[in-house]
Amino acid sequence: MENLVETARAMLPLFDIPFTDCEITQHGNGHINDTFLLTPAKGKPVILQRVSPVAFHHPEYVMSNMLSVTRTLRTVIEQRGGDPDREALTVIPLKSGESFAVSKDGSAWRMTAFIDHTVSRDLPDSPEMFGESGHAFGRFQHDLSDFPADTLYETIPHFHDTPSRLNAFREAVEKDVCSRLSGCQELVDLYLARAGRAGLLTDALARGEIPLRVTHNDTKLNNVLLDAESFKALCVIDLDTVMPGLSAYDFGDAIRFGASTAVEDETDPEKIHFSFPMFSAFAQGYLAETGSLFTPAEVDSLAVGAWMMTYECGMRFLTDYLSGDVYFHVAHDRHNLDRAWNQMLLLQDMERYQDEMLACVRTLAAQ
């Protein structure tokens, strides 16, 4: 990390900011990018991020999407009388006008204005807070409902293509490059036992039963900034995976993360449960913003999305564990395995609630 801070400092003269002298601290809990808060002695702090070269092979695609999406969002926010500087990300360009810099090791660095007096959470404090994030992600999708999807790059191909994630998982199991399989065979079997459901959403899309939309695709609660005093959802961040996708992905991934009674790497099975009150609070906020857009089949797909995103994410953690922790940031050797167990326990609990989830989204969408 020391080296990365040095590299971050070396990038500063390239950006269009009025300082180079500042304090640099690691910021946030993201698993993918390296995020730093830059605090100058005078003037406004900024966020500097190294875009993960493992996750994103084309940073120019990521930045092109980010610029066009934030441009549209700012216009929509202004039209409804909001404050685009606080409710949307602002990319700070280089002095050359480019949107990102490249360090000696070839990685891309980008800067955004720091949105102050905000917090981000790894678990909601209350159903009201989670409902707020439902409004934020629903509004995000609604605001981009006329955005021309064909102008967006696919920054990570097949990102939520669960059958393709399953294939990658099977390959990692077969190769077992780190000889870790023997220590997690029971968990591997639990994921494989559910393989028959992996195509539920992609098949429905292929049959034309549910539509492709512009979606966020990484709707964790900590990807929404909340106002530090009112805890109202202010700004949806982490736009790296905004791509054509299914509403079930956005709805489902938010539920996976926030409708659990424990954080994603909790290891005590007693503490990991699905929270139906949290599910219902999020669904209420999300559907209040999007319900009018959705067809009945799409509403039904949301409940499947909660299951699918939990299954897929757990399988991705386990794939990364078997592959030697090459993708997600980890703090220790078992971290990805702990996360994969956590997601499986959540999934098993969620499986008991499929009927209730379906009934809940149907009722809310009909209101």
C-alpha 231/C-alpha 97 separation (Å) is 35
Please give the residues from 49 up to 88 whose contact with ligand GN1 meets the rule CB under 6 A: 55
Distance of CA 310 to the CA centre of its chain: 13
**If binding is defined by CB under 6 A, does position 86 make contact with ligand ADP?**
no
313 binds ligand GN1 (CB under 6 A): yes
Q: Which residue is nearest to ligand ADP (CB)?
A: 30
- Copy the structure tokens of residue 187: 């968990």
- Cβ 175 to ligand GN1, closest distance in Å? 21
By a kind-dependent CB cut-off of 5 to 8 A, residue 236 interacts, out of ligand GN1, Mg ion, ligand ADP, none, with none
- Give the single-character DSSP code of 41: S
Helix ranges, the chain (H): 2-11, 59-79, 84-87, 127-143, 162-175, 185-192, 200-206, 247-258, 276-290, 296-323, 335-351, 354-366
| Contacts made by residues 25-34, CB under 8 angstroms, sequence distance 24+ | 26/1, 28/120, 28/222, 29/120, 29/122, 29/222, 30/222, 30/238, 30/329, 31/328, 31/329, 32/240, 32/327, 32/328, 32/329, 33/240, 34/4
The CB-of-339 to ligand GN1 minimum distance in angstroms stands at 8
Among ligand ADP, ligand GN1, Mg ion, none, residue 24 binds (CB under 5-8 Å by kind)? none
- Within 204-263, the residues that bind ligand ADP by CB under 6 A are 222-223, 225, 237-238, 240
What mask of x and - would describe binding to Mg ion in positions 226 to 255, judged by CB under 5 A?
------------x-----------------
For ligand GN1, the closer of residues 17 and 306 by Cβ is 306
- Options 19, 114, 231, 276; binder of ligand ADP; rule CB under 6 A: 114
Least spacing, CB of residue 246 vs ligand GN1, in Å: 14
Binding residue (CB under 5 A) for Mg ion from 107, 223, 280, 336: 223
Q: Does 338 bind ligand GN1 (CB under 6 A)?
A: no
Number of residues that bind ligand GN1 (CB under 6 A): 13
Q: How far is the CB of 155 from ligand ADP (least distance, A)?
A: 11
Give the nearest distance from C-beta 30 to Mg ion in angstroms: 4
φ, ψ dihedrals at 232, nearest 5°: -75, 140
Dihedral of alpha carbons 91, 92, 98, 102, sign: negative
Q: How far is the CB of 46 from ligand GN1 (least distance, A)?
A: 19
Minimum distance from residue 19 beta carbon to ligand GN1 (Å): 28
The β-bridge relationship of strands 118-119 and 108-113 is unpaired
Is the CB of residue 200 less than 8 Å from the CB of residue 300?
no
Pick what 241 binds: ligand ADP, Mg ion, ligand GN1, none; C-beta below 5 to 8 Å, kind-dependent. Answer: ligand GN1
Distance of CA 143 to the CA centre of its chain: 18
* Of the residues 264, 289, 298, 338, which one makes contact with ligand GN1 according to CB under 6 A: 264
> Residue 258, interface with Mg ion (CB under 5 A)?
no
User: Should residue 73 be labelled a site residue for ligand ADP when binding is judged by CB under 6 A?
Assistant: no
Rounded distance between C-alpha atoms, residue 18 and residue 37, angstroms: 16
For residue 193, count CB atoms less than 10 angstroms from its CB and return exposed for 0-12, middle for 13-18, buried for 19 or more: exposed
Please report whether residue 47 would count as binding ligand ADP according to CB under 6 A: yes
Q: Is 22 helix (H, G, I), strand (E, B) or coil?
A: strand
**By the criterion CB under 6 A, which residues form the site for ligand GN1?**
30-32, 55, 218, 220, 223, 238, 240-241, 253, 264, 313
Question: Interface residues with ligand ADP (CB under 6 A)?
Answer: 27-33, 35, 47, 89, 112, 114-115, 118, 120, 222-223, 225, 237-238, 240
